[in-house]
């Protein structure tokens, strides 16, 4: 039976995942750091208790793993928050025509290293980049668009104002996959949603002005 004060509720596994705690602990950098620290401690204890074989192995493997883990931690970029459960929209996601968006989803929901932001090279190519304050991808959601597959990416704009995004709206859809169109919605000052939806937009960006938040 778990300890704790009467009436105390321990956070569930799901709650920990939602709060980002388990996500942070299970990053490759965190796992290497924890493993390296554990081996180093075991080796140090073994040395203090006169167990040279164990102490040598612990320090020999532990210290490099610890340093490598800390190096990864210093350059890691966590996944964007995935708002749609993996079990939902599975059939739409696995369709052949959904491959470009499926790859995009996989790319932004994994740990990255040595990058300032998700989709760094794509945003640079689209001229939607600022070295000092690049756009930050906060979350991604999957959408059923009349039986077809779509994605909604929620960005914090930082150094790239919404007007620059609007100027690239027509190209955004074509850039991420054939037959896609882009819609932009300003959700708050400094934050916007980029929807990548099936169905090429033939009217151009002027047909979809950027709505202001209500």
What is the tens place of the pLDDT at every residue in 131-176?
A: 999 999 999 999 999 999 999 999 999 999 999 999 999 999 999 9
Q: Give me the pLDDT at residue 167, please.
A: 95
Q: Give me the pLDDT at residue 64, please.
A: 79
Q: Give me the pLDDT at residue 9, please.
A: 39
CA distance 181 to 169: 8
Q: Which residue has 């079990």 as its token pair? A: 87
83 pLDDT band, cuts 50/70/90, is: very high
Q: Give me the pLDDT at residue 200, please.
A: 62
Asked if 193 and 187 touch (Cβ cutoff 8 Å), the reply is yes
% of the chain residues with pLDDT over 70: 75
Q: Give me the pLDDT at residue 53, please.
A: 66
Higher pLDDT among residues 103 and 55, named by residue: 103
CATH 2.60.120 fits 81-207, yes or no: no
Asked if 196 and 165 touch (Cβ cutoff 8 Å), the reply is no
CA distance 69 to 5: 36
- What mean pLDDT is predicted for residues 19-47? 68
46 pLDDT band, cuts 50/70/90, is: confident
Q: Which residue has 């320090």 as its token pair? A: 59
CA distance 207 to 164: 16
Q: Give me the pLDDT at residue 199, please.
A: 84
- What mean pLDDT is predicted for residues 36-44? 77
Q: Is the pLDDT of residue 189 over 70?
A: yes
Higher pLDDT among residues 19 and 191, named by residue: 191
62 pLDDT band, cuts 50/70/90, is: confident
Domain boundaries, the chain: 13-77, 81-207
Q: Hey, which residues does 198 pair with through a beta bridge?
A: 180
Phi-psi region of 27 (alpha: psi -120 to 50; beta: other; left: phi over 0): beta
Dihedral over alpha carbons 158, 163, 164, 165 (to 10 degrees): 80
CB atoms within 10 A of CB 158: 15
93 pLDDT band, cuts 50/70/90, is: very high
Q: Which range (27-31, 77-81, 141-145, 164-168) has the least confidence?
A: 27-31
- What mean pLDDT is predicted for residues 51-55? 66
Tokens of 183: 């819609």
Q: Give me the pLDDT at residue 131, please.
A: 94
Q: What are phi and psi of 81, to 5 degrees?
A: -65, 130
């Amino acid at each position: 039976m778990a300890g704790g004060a009467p009436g105390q509720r321990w956070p569930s596994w799901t709650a920990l995942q939602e709060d980002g705690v388990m996500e942070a602990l299970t990053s490759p950098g965190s796992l290497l750091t924890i493993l390296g620290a554990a081996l180093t401690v075991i080796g140090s204890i073994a040395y203090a208790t006169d167990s040279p074989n164990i102490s040598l192995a612990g320090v020999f493997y532990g210290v490099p793993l610890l340093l490598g883990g800390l190096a990864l931690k210093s350059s890691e970029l966590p996944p964007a928050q995935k708002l749609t459960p993996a079990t939902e929209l599975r059939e739409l996601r696995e369709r052949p025509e959904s491959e470009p968006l499926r790859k995009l989803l996989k790319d932004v929901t994994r740990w990255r290293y040595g990058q300032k932001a998700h989709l760094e090279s794509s945003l640079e190519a689209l001229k939607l980049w600022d070295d000092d304050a690049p756009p930050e991808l906060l979350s991604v959601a999957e959408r059923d668009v009349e039986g077809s597959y779509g994605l909604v990416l929620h960005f914090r704009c930082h150094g790239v104002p919404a007007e620059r995004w609007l100027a690239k709206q027509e190209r955004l859809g074509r850039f991420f996959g054939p037959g896609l169109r882009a819609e932009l919605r300003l959700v708050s000052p400094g934050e916007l949603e980029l929807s990548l939806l099936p169905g090429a937009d033939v009217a151009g960006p002027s047909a979809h002005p950027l709505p202001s938040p209500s």
